Chain A
Amino acid sequence: MRSERTRHNKIIFSGTVGAGKSTAINALSDITTVSTEAVASDSTARLKPTTTVAMDYGVLNLPDGEKVMLYGTPGQERFSFMWDILSEGGIGLILLINNASPDPLQDLEGYLGAFRQFIASTAVTIGVTHMDSSPQPGLDAYRARLIALGLSPMPAIFRADARSRDDVATLVKALLYTLNPGLNDA
Chain B
Amino acid sequence: MTRAQPSSPTEHPSALLLLHVGSMDARLIGLSIERHWTRSVRLVETLEEAQVVLIDCDRPGIEAALDQLAGHPRIGIVYYAFHPKDHALRFQPRPVLGKPLNLEALPATLNQARVDAAHMIAAAPPRPMAPALAVSSPVAYPRAPAPLGHSLMTDDERDLCGGMDDIPTTPGSSLPDKLFFNPDDYLIGRLQQALALASASGRPHLISGLPRLIGIEPRPVPVCITAFRENQLRPLAMTQLPESTGRIVSTPIIGEADSQPVHRAAEDFLWNAAAWAARGRLPAGSDPYQPVRLRAWPNFTYAFASPHAMRIAALWTRMHASPVEIATRLGIPHRYVFSVYSAASFAGLLDTTAKHENAPVAPFPPAPSDKPARGSVLSRILRKLRDAV
Binding site for B on A (CB under 8 A): 9, 60-64, 66, 68, 91, 121-122, 127, 135-136, 138-140, 143, 152-161, 164-167, 169-174, 176-186
Q: Is the CB of B378 within 8 A of A176?
A: yes
* Residues of chain A lying within 8 A (CB to CB) of residue B369: 121-122, 179
Bound CA–CA A113/B384 (angstroms): 31
Q: Which of A154, A166, A183 contacts B378 (CB 8 A)?
A: A183
Indicate if the CB atoms of B301 and A157 lie closer than 8 Å: no
- List 17 extra interface pairs beyond A60-B381, A165-B388, CB under 8 A: A62-B377, A62-B384, A63-B380, A127-B301, A135-B221, A143-B296, A152-B318, A159-B302, A166-B389, A167-B301, A169-B388, A172-B385, A173-B382, A174-B313, A179-B369, A180-B375, A185-B383
In contact, B221 and A183 (Cβ under 8 angstroms): no
Q: Could you tell me if B313 and A156 are in contact, using CB atoms closer than 8 angstroms? A: yes
CB-CB under 8 A from B318, the residues of chain A are: 152-154
B289 within 8 A of A: no
A140 near B384: Cβ-Cβ < 8 Å: no
Chain A CB within 8 A of B100 CB: no
Given contacts A66-B380, A138-B220, A185-B382, are A180 and B300 in contact (CB under 8 A)? no
**B380 pairs with A158, CB closer than 8 A:** no
| Contact among B301, B310, B377 with A177 in the assembled complex (CB-CB below 8 Å) | B310
CB distance from B233 to the nearest CB of A (A): 18
Q: Which of A91, A160, A164 contacts B377 (CB 8 A)?
A: A91
Contact partners of A140 in chain B: CB under 8 A: 221, 267
Contact string against A for B residues 349-379, beta-carbon threshold 8 Å, 1 for contact and 0 otherwise: 0000000000000011111011000110111
Find out whether the CB atom of B317 lies under 8 angstroms from the CB atom of A153. yes
Q: Closest CB of chain A to B369's CB: distance in Å?
A: 7
A to B contact number (C-beta, < 8 Å): 136
Known contacts A63-B380, A169-B389: A184-B299 contact under CB 8 Å: no
Contact with A along B297-325 (1 / 0, CB 8 A): 10111100101101111110110000000
B59 within 8 A of A: no
A121-B369, A179-B370 known; A184 and B311 CB under 8 Å? yes
Residue numbers in B under 8 Å from A152 (CB-CB): 318
Would you call B299 and A158 a contact (CB within 8 A)? yes
**A138-B221, A158-B299, A185-B386 given as contacts; is B380 within 8 A of A176 (CB)?**
no
Name 16 interchain pairs, CB-CB below 8 A, sorted by A. A9-B381, A61-B384, A91-B377, A152-B318, A154-B317, A155-B297, A159-B265, A164-B301, A165-B388, A169-B385, A174-B300, A176-B378, A181-B312, A184-B308, A185-B382, A186-B332
Q: Across the interface, do A91 and B374 meet the contact criterion of CB distance under 8 Å?
A: yes
* CB <8 Å contact, B296 and A178: no
Residues in chain A near residue B39, CB distance under 8 A:
none
> Which residues does B use to contact A, with CB under 8 Å?
220-221, 265, 267, 295-297, 299-302, 305, 307-308, 310-315, 317-318, 330, 332, 363-367, 369-370, 374-375, 377-386, 388-389
Report Cα–Cα, A127/B383, bound state, in Å.
Answer: 21
Known contacts A9-B377, A181-B364: A154-B297 contact under CB 8 Å = yes
Known: A139-B299, A158-B299. A180 touches B381 (CB 8 A): no
Smallest Cβ distance from B125 to chain A, in angstroms? 41
**Chain B residue at minimum C-beta to C-beta distance from A127:** B301
Bound CA span A140–B296, Å: 9
> In the bound complex, do residue B381 and residue A68 qualify as a contact, i.e. CB atoms below 8 Å apart?
yes
Contact at A181–B220, with CB atoms within 8 Å? no
> With A157-B296, A170-B301 known to touch, is A180 a contact of B380 (CB < 8 Å)?
no
Task: Please give me the residue from chain B that is nearest to A154 by CB atom.
Answer: B317
Chain B hits for A173, CB < 8 A: 310, 382, 385-386
Q: Once the chains bind, are B296 and A91 in contact (CB under 8 Å)?
A: no
Asked if B370 contacts A180 (CB within 8 A), the reply is: yes
Inter-chain CA distance A107–B300, complex, in Å, is: 22
Q: How far does the Cβ of A96 sit from chain B's closest Cβ, in whole Å? A: 12
User: Across the interface, do A183 and B311 meet the contact criterion of CB distance under 8 Å?
Assistant: yes
Distance from A154 Cβ to chain B, minimum over Cβ atoms (Å): 5
Q: Which residues of A contact B384 (CB under 8 A)?
A: 60-63
Q: Please, which residues of chain B bring their CB within 8 A of the CB of A172?
A: 381, 385
Whether A180 contacts B366 in the complex (CB less than 8 A), given A158-B301, A159-B301, comes out as yes
Q: Which residues of A contact B375 (CB under 8 A)?
A: 180, 183
* Bound-state Cα–Cα, A155 to B300, Å: 13
Given A176-B378, A181-B315, A138 contacting B265 (CB threshold 8 A): yes
Contacts of B314 in A (CB 8 A): 153, 156, 174, 177-178, 181
> Do the beta carbons of B300 and A156 come within 8 Å of each other?
yes
Q: A135-B221, A178-B314, A179-B378 are in contact. Are A170 and B300 (CB under 8 A)?
A: yes
Query: A154 touching B301 by the CB < 8 A rule?
Result: no
Q: Which residues of A contact B302 (CB under 8 A)?
A: 159
* CB atoms of A159 and B378 under 8 A apart: no
Given contacts A143-B296, A153-B318, A172-B385, contact A179 B310 (CB under 8 A): no
